Chain A
């Protein structure tokens, strides 16, 4: 269970999240929707521990463990995975090297054995195939010169390899055409399991046709202003956020 209580976060001197509370039980998929500037991405970054995202007050725990106390990499090793809206290009580091370094770093921190090169490659091949990623692409520097769709597929590949316990998908649908959206959604859906929670951040209802949420939350001006079932997303799509803007103010 990811549990967030009264979380207030500022970036530089600006307060973005203003007492946000949210609980996502294991096995459930929750969607966060909201207008630009509401604080959707800030929530993801704050949970992942990005520098300069200062938690002013509130708590965030994952399966009872305090997340905010941990360093960025410790949060990852605890099972938190933030899929970036704009995955970074890492020149000079082949995707395979990047992922193996990350996986082994997590395993080391958890006191597990490192994965052997043959096992790693075998697993990589399987996952890459299901995501229609060419193995040659994995020998190239991570995300360098990749298209928007390729970058998002790489994100899903990393999720599948790292097997996190909780996924935060930050606008995973941005920059995807319909075919790529399907491949990426299928990849994410394949990771749905009773012991894995997900938080899907999106602008549009479209993604939620593919990744069906158990609950939808509306985030406006740093707070959750409404929560409901999947039908809430359709409602937002039809009517927009206008009626909530007054609530937040």
Chain B
């Protein structure tokens, strides 16, 4: 049910094409013609790390994802994970990795993931790399997992970041994803409400410029009663950037009391930028509340007039409102320090995003 499409970046025959419905708007095979060179994960010896690294910060280089559970087991309930991907000029290097994380019953964990070229030496920046990683989360009864993700990858990167989540009764999974895209970037999350009364939040924001491509795909299955899913995705695209939003919520027969809401709101800032949005609700239960909304367009004219009536010229008002458009997504993050970091990221990414 939660299965991700099999993908091995070292085997071109496994690359999805636009004929695959799930990958219709993000055609990997067109960008990646042949397998990259293998760049082995840098396996850090977690036990040997100096103690100051055990304060909730960990750096994972080139997809050493199998280490994630070990790292999390060692970390406090609030973990800051930096996933660094390196490339080299004139070579296309690839890495892939997978990790399984179980959140024990009643435990509350907050994971802050940053995908970055981070502390990479200059030579690695803006290099092409192909990263294909997956994390699998299992939430036991009453467990809470708050996952905040910043995708701050270079323009040349090809990046596929996928995850699956399985809930248990009364567990809580909240995810907040913030992206600036890449040459090709797909963030895919599959959630299965496998326990009754679970609460799921799948929020996110993207700010795309130049020729960047970002694909936010979510698949939520309500298989048990009284589950809630709330999703708000907001985005800005300019230049020749492309955003893809594919959201599907499936409510299985018998999953009564489900409350599922999906919203995608985006602004296209100029001709030439694209958004492909495909929200889907599939409902087989009777007693459910489901809604989806998708708005792509321009700034609210009334808000614009309000700002101008207070003295802002049109460009200033548009700049202020455009920049502010994605910020409310961060408001859901309770951890103040992490929210501060997210806002900082959005501030930086949002420069020069003026609606025209």
Bind each other: yes
| Candidate in A49, A72, A101 with the most chain B CB atoms within 10 angstroms | A72
- CB contact between B310 and one of A51, A76, A141 (< 8 Å): that residue: A76
**Which residues of A are in contact with B by a Cβ distance under 8 Å?**
48-51, 71-73, 75-77, 81-82, 84, 87-88, 90-93, 97-99, 101-103, 105-106, 109, 141, 144, 158, 162
Flag if B311 contacts A92 (CB, 8 Å).
no
Are A92 and B327 touching (Cβ within 8 A)? yes
Q: Which of A75, A98, A102 has the most CB of B within 10 A?
A: A102
Instruction: Decide if A73 touches B313 in the complex (CB within 8 Å).
Output: yes
Contact B328 A141 (CB under 8 A): yes
Chain A residues within an 8 Å CB radius of B301: 51
Instruction: Flag the segment in B59-67, B94-102, B315-323 that touches A.
Output: B315-323
- The listed residue (B309, B312, B328) touching A82 by CB distance below 8 A is B309
23 A-B residue pairings within 8 Å (CB atoms)? A50-B305, A50-B309, A73-B308, A73-B317, A76-B308, A76-B310, A84-B309, A88-B303, A88-B306, A90-B306, A90-B307, A91-B324, A92-B323, A92-B328, A93-B324, A98-B310, A98-B320, A102-B307, A103-B311, A105-B311, A109-B311, A109-B313, A141-B324
Task: List chain B residues, Cβ under 8 A from A84.
Answer: 306, 309
Task: Please state if B324 and A72 are interface contacts (CB–CB under 8 Å).
Answer: no
Q: Identify the closest chain B residue to A84 (Cβ).
A: B306
Q: Does B92 contact A (CB under 8 A)?
A: no
Please, which residues of chain B bring their CB within 8 A of the CB of A102? 307, 310-312
Instruction: State the B residues within 8 Å of A (CB).
Output: 301-303, 305-314, 316-317, 320-321, 323-328
| Distance A247 CA – B55 CA, assembled complex (angstroms) | 79
State in angstroms the CA–CA spacing of A76 and B311 once bound together.
5
In angstroms, Cα B331 to Cα A91, docked, is: 10
- Which residues of chain B are near A82, meaning CB under 8 Å? 309
Expressed in whole angstroms, the minimum distance between the Cβ of B120 and any Cβ of chain A is 32
Q: Would B311 and A90 count as touching, CB distance under 8 A?
A: no
Given A76-B309, A90-B303, A158-B310 in contact, is the A101-B328 Cβ separation under 8 Å? no
The closest CB in chain A to the CB of B302 belongs to A88
> How far, in angstroms, from A27 to B8 measured CA to CA in the complex?
77
- Are the CB atoms of A101 and B313 closer together than 8 Å? no
Contacts A88-B302, A92-B326, A105-B313; A72 near B320 (Cβ below 8 A): no
Contact of A101 among B303, B314, B316, B325 (CB under 8 A): B316
How far, in Å, is A164 (CB) from chain B's closest CB?
A: 9
Contacts of B308 in A (CB 8 A): 49, 71-73, 76
| Contact between chains at A93 and B320 (CB < 8 Å) | yes
Contact of A106 among B306, B311, B324 (CB under 8 A): B311
Q: Is the CB of B309 within 8 A of A77?
A: no
Q: Which residue from chain A places its CB closest to the CB of B317 in the assembled complex?
A: A73
Knowing A73-B308, A76-B311, say if A91 contacts B316 (CB, 8 Å): no
The interface residues of chain A lying within 8 Å CB-to-CB of B309 are 48-50, 72-73, 75-76, 82, 84
Q: How far is the CB of B302 from chain A (nearest CB, A)?
A: 6
Give the distance in Å from the alpha carbon of A91 to the alpha carbon of B302 in the complex. Answer: 13
State how many angstroms separate the Cβ of B95 from the closest Cβ of chain A. 36
Inside 8 A of B305's CB, which chain A residues have their CB? 50-51, 72
B324 contact set on A, CB distance < 8 A: 90-93, 141
15 A-B pairs besides A76-B310, A91-B327 with CB distance below 8 A are A71-B308, A72-B305, A73-B309, A73-B312, A77-B311, A82-B309, A84-B306, A88-B302, A101-B312, A101-B320, A105-B312, A106-B311, A109-B311, A109-B313, A144-B328
Return B324 CB to nearest CB of chain A, in Å. 3
Q: How far is the CA of A75 from the CA of B302 in the complex (A)?
A: 17
Report A-chain residues with C-beta under 8 Å of the C-beta of B325: 91-92
Cα A93 to Cα B121 in complex, Å, equals 37
Distance from B111 Cβ to chain A, minimum over Cβ atoms (Å): 25
